[in-house]
Amino acid sequence: MTTQTTSPEKILRFAVGCVVVSSVAAALFVLFRHAGSVRGPAAGLGIMAAFIGSGVAGWFAFRARDCRLTAAAFASALSLAFWIWAL
């Protein structure tokens, strides 16, 4: 996958989707703090979405020099920071 074969809009949509999934998982993690059957999968899904989103957005922001991807990488990094703090 290179910047020549993948448009920045598709990468941005993927990165924003990862941020949304991680945010929903964070909300579930906080709201259901006493239910281990919800908290465990939410944590796993949330941190993996944050890792993937920040990596993909950061890499393509660097390669394509796109400000929108840089913002998405920053938002993913904030999500990742939450998961590092929470876990």
Q: 43 lies in a domain? A: yes
Q: 57 lies in a domain? A: yes
The mean per-residue pLDDT over the stretch 52-70 comes to 84
Provide long-range contacts, Cβ within 8 A and 24+ apart, for 26-32.
26/79, 26/82, 26/83, 26/86, 29/86
If one compares 36 and 78, the residue with the highest pLDDT of the two is 78
Amino acid at 17: G
8 touches 69 (CB < 8 A): yes
The mean per-residue pLDDT over the stretch 75-79 comes to 88
Q: 75 lies in a domain? A: yes
* pTM of the complete model: 0.82
Q: 76 lies in a domain? A: yes
Q: 14 lies in a domain? A: no
Classify residue 66 by its DSSP letter: -
Q: 36 lies in a domain? A: yes
Predicted confidence at residue 56, as pLDDT, reads 87
Q: 70 lies in a domain? A: yes
Q: 79 lies in a domain? A: yes
* Structural domains counted in the chain: 1
Q: Can you give the residue range of the structural domain that contains 40?
A: 20-86
